[in-house]
Amino acid sequence: MVHQKCFAVLLIVGCFCFCQNEAQQDLKRGSTCRTPNGDTATCISIFDCSRFVTTIRSGSPSQIKFIQSSQCGWDNHALVCCGTDIDYKSTRSPPVTVGTPVGRTVRTGFRRNIAIPDRANCGRQEADEGLSGFIYGGKETQLDEFPWLASLGYTDRFGRRQWSCGGTLINNRYVLTAGHCVIGEIERKIGKLSVVKFGEHNTDTIIDCNKDSKCNNRPVTIEVDQVEYPPNYDGLSNSPFDIALVRLKQKVDYTNFIRPICLPEPNEASRNAEMMTTAGWGRIENGTASKVLLKVEIPFVDKRQCSRLYSSAGVFLIDSQICAGGEGGKDSCAGDSGGPLMRRSSANPLVWYQEGIVSFGALKCGIKGLPAIYTRIADFLPWIHTTVRD
């Protein structure tokens, strides 16, 4: 998945996440910098700052926050302002994130929006793969499989276009994606979200055909009208509010290769070890972006188990985030951000619904025992149904 705002460093204890410091971002290695305590120091690799590495392995939450706030740049690794302190001075306090989670009262009920398809008109695909369903460690999809998958295109100031995030069609005018795919670092590093492409399979060809000479249609590209995200989203990929809606300038016509996925019901949730599916054109084992749409099955991971893993890295999860993965060699990866974590409905296995949105994870994908984090869509149903309009 794309780490547009936050980055992860793998140390002995596992995953340690860094976020760009707005006050002193993009300093070069060896530059003079100021620590969170205001002292002058040198901007160096996190791995060269031995006191930080030692503290990460056994430090307190305050010390972990201090190290994260010490980031001064990024090249091959996170750069930190490595001074003599490993914690805030007694006269200073670490920054506190405030805000009430959007989804705390979501499950109690909401007014449904008739513009969002119901289960009779969403989540169905022509591809018939039985009930097994099978990106990192993934396999190629069929031409008409997951027709709700969308590719997000960005345009930089020179007019160049790059496809850098995924999304899902939820009705004929809206695409669901991650918040960090529409604002924040992605705008500065890649460009402004400008178009969305539907019906894509192989990015190298216009019309794709399988071995049985069955072909898909030409992909459809539609310009973006506007983007919307929760009011308490802060632009970070590890935010518990990492969700956004993309409104298209025109309605998209449904075909066998372009259809909407279903949203979850308020209390529709997976249980530990149940298998889920994610798909996208993100990075694969050789480090390059996949040219074809890939899919992979990964297990849902118990929240308490996942929280313990990430809290040791100073990342604290809340109810609007869920975990999946942790099997070696199978994962969402760079370029998959905004894409779906989905499964078949238990009430009707022919219907797919989306339970999560690819949000963030470790810098290296597919690490055994380290699941990725997804935004839990059920916690944002009132916001989605309120925001979507004709």
Task: Establish whether 345 is a catalytic residue.
Answer: no
C-alpha to C-alpha distance for 267 and 376, rounded to whole angstroms: 11
Q: Which two tokens stand for residue 29?
A: 């290695």
Which candidate in 87, 208, 234, 242 is catalytic?
242
| Sign of the C-alpha dihedral computed for residues 163, 168, 170 and 172 taken in this order | positive
Residue identified by tokens 């780490």 is 3
| Sign of the C-alpha dihedral computed for residues 105, 109, 110 and 112 taken in this order | positive
Residue identified by tokens 């997951």 is 146
Spell out the SS3 assignment of 23-87.
HHCCCCCCCEEECCCCCEEEEEEHHHCHHHHHHHHHCCHHHHHHHHHCEEEECCCEEEEECCCCC
C-alpha to C-alpha distance for 135 and 132, rounded to whole angstroms: 18
Radius of gyration of the chain (CA): 21
CA distances from 338 to 178, 283, 379 (A): 4, 14, 16
Which of 276, 284, 388 is CA-nearest to residue 340?
276
* Residue 50, phi then psi, degrees to nearest 5: -60, -35
Helix (H, G, I), strand (E, B) or coil at 370: coil
C-alpha to C-alpha distance for 367 and 330, rounded to whole angstroms: 8
Task: Establish whether 242 is a catalytic residue.
Answer: yes
Which candidate in 3, 70, 164, 180 is catalytic?
180
C-alpha to C-alpha distance for 99 and 170, rounded to whole angstroms: 28
Spell out the SS3 assignment of 194-250.
EEEEECCCECCCCCCECCCCCECCCCEEEEEEEEECCCCCCCCCCCCCCCEEEEECC
User: 361, exposed or middle or buried, with CB in 10 Å at 0-12, 13-18, 19+?
Assistant: buried
C-alpha to C-alpha distance for 373 and 165, rounded to whole angstroms: 16
- As annotated, the active-site residues are 180, 242, 337
